[in-house]
Amino acid sequence: MRIHNIYVDDAGETHWRDVEVQWVEERNGSKLSARLPANGIIFRETGGDYDLSWHPAPRRQYIINLDGGVKITASDGEAREIGAGEVILVEDIRGKGHLSKSIGGKMRHSIFVPVE
């Protein structure tokens, strides 16, 4: 399972990388990861006209995209379209940050899971 990860380097520039979930257990026909730390859950609804300029993330968090889509552009120019069911680990809490824009003018529902 792949998790998109946006992070910031020492110069304050943001970049994308992929993180693979490490499976530590198999049970009842399922693979499980280790338990990861989390600090609450936030539900979010984003309008289809969403187009946010450069901003760092407010906190380190996972974003679980439930429907719709979002295009996120790192400051190094790489853009990714995140679709329904995809997960992002957002770690660019300082520096220039990233751009966020809705895809196709559709409303998006997501879940934020803070890990600070």
Per-residue pLDDT of 87-96, as tens digits, reads 999 999 999 9
Choose among 96, 58, 50: nearest CA to 75.
96
Q: Average pLDDT, stretch 74-85?
A: 97
Query: In the chain, what percentage of residues exceed pLDDT 70?
Result: 100
Q: Which residues contact 90 (CB under 8 A, 6 or more apart)?
A: 6, 57, 60, 61, 62, 63
Asked if residues 63 and 88 have their Cβ atoms less than 8 Å apart, the reply is: yes
Is 90 exceeded by the pLDDT of residue 116?
A: no
Q: Average pLDDT, stretch 11-23?
A: 97
Domain 2-114: top CATH class: mainly beta
Q: What is the pTM of this model?
A: 0.92
Domain ranges of the chain: 2-114
Q: Can you give the pLDDT at residue 34?
A: 95
